[in-house]
Amino acid sequence: DTGVSQDPRHKITKRGQNVTFRCDPISEHNRLYWYRQTLGQGPEFLTYFQNEAQLEKSRLLSDRFSAERPKGSFSTLEIQRTEQGDSAMYLCASSPRTSGGVYEQYFGPGTRLTVT
């Protein structure tokens, strides 16, 4: 396992459709994060998991968004009834839990969503 992987890399969908993205973190990393990045901006935090527990959700995450991490391994991010404003790069990151020290997060290549 060489890093965080995300699938698909690109997704084009029509407004109103549902989409689901997958993230496979680095093995044994128990923290997993989702971020969203729009053009000209830095990534914005959406939600994070420690093992299978979803511990925090951003207010950016409307009711149309849901994330899961069954069994504390891979994670999925689903967007229901997509809107054009959902068009963005969706980034996944993972990190090990350490006792003290910085939680370096390792990012995947992202999934670029285009809603037409």
Partner 1 sequence: DQQVKQNSPSLSVQEGRISILNCDYTNSMFDYFLWYKKYPAEGPTFLISISSIKDKNEDGRFTVFLNKSAKHLSLHIVPSQPGDSAVYFCAALTGNTGKLIFGQGTTLQVKP
Is 70 exposed, middle or buried (CB count within 10 Å of its CB: 0-12, 13-18, 19+)? exposed
Nearer to partner 1, 14 or 59 (CB): 59
Structure tokens at 96: 């090990």
- Using DSSP, state whether 87 is helix, strand or coil: coil
Q: How far is the CB of 12 from partner 1 (least distance, A)?
A: 16
Structure token pair of residue 89: 């790069």
Which one among 27, 41, 84, 99 touches partner 1, defined by CB under 8 A? 41
Question: Please, which residue, 4 or 113, has the CB nearer to partner 1?
Answer: 4
> Rule CB under 8 A: is residue 69 a binding residue for partner 1?
no
The residues that bridge with 78 in the sheet, in sequence order, are 20, 66
Residues binding partner 1 (CB under 8 A): 4, 31, 33, 35, 40-45, 48, 55-56, 91, 93, 95, 102-110
